[in-house]
Amino acid sequence: MPHVTHYLPELQEPELTYIQSLVGRFTHEQMQIFSAAYRHRRKDPQTVLLAAIIGLVAIPGFQRFWLGEVGVGLLFLFTWGALLVGSICDLVQYRTLALLHNQKVAREIATSMQMQLARERQPSIRPATVY
């Protein structure tokens, strides 16, 4: 059972615990694939903070667009950050926004890897030949 910190040393709690629970039974090779994909799609909390500041002072909803939440981003854009209240809340809760996004990404990657592994393990079914 590989430990996540060997592959993703940049993770902090509670993200580290969540990822460990997802990939606890992965092999070394699977963990390498997961960590490469996760590192590519993961959002760093400090970058989310920067996006929230931009969302507050320049482009309302920028942080939500950047996190892939287009609906909320449009709402913030057209309501001036829900009258700045939503933008200020995002600024205060930037770590939670990053954690929720990263958990969603980790689940998607782990699920797709598990489905791929299940497909590879299924025996190929060939139709019987009729004589």
Which tens digits make up the pLDDT trace of 90-120? 999 999 999 999 999 999 999 999 888 888 7
* Residue 25 belongs to domain spanning: 4-118
> What is the model's pLDDT at position 124?
61
15 or 4: which leads in pLDDT = 15
Domain membership flag for residue 130: no
Number of domains in the chain: 1
Per the model's pLDDT, the better-predicted residue between 112 and 125 turns out to be 112
Is the confidence at residue 26, as pLDDT, over 90? no
For residue 85, being part of any structural domain is answered with yes
Residue 15 falls inside a structural domain: yes
Residue 102 sits at φ, ψ, to 5 deg, of -65, -35
Average pLDDT of the chain to the nearest whole number: 89
The angle formed by the CA atoms of residues 65, 66 and 70, to the nearest 5 degrees, is: 25
Please state the pTM of the whole predicted model: 0.85
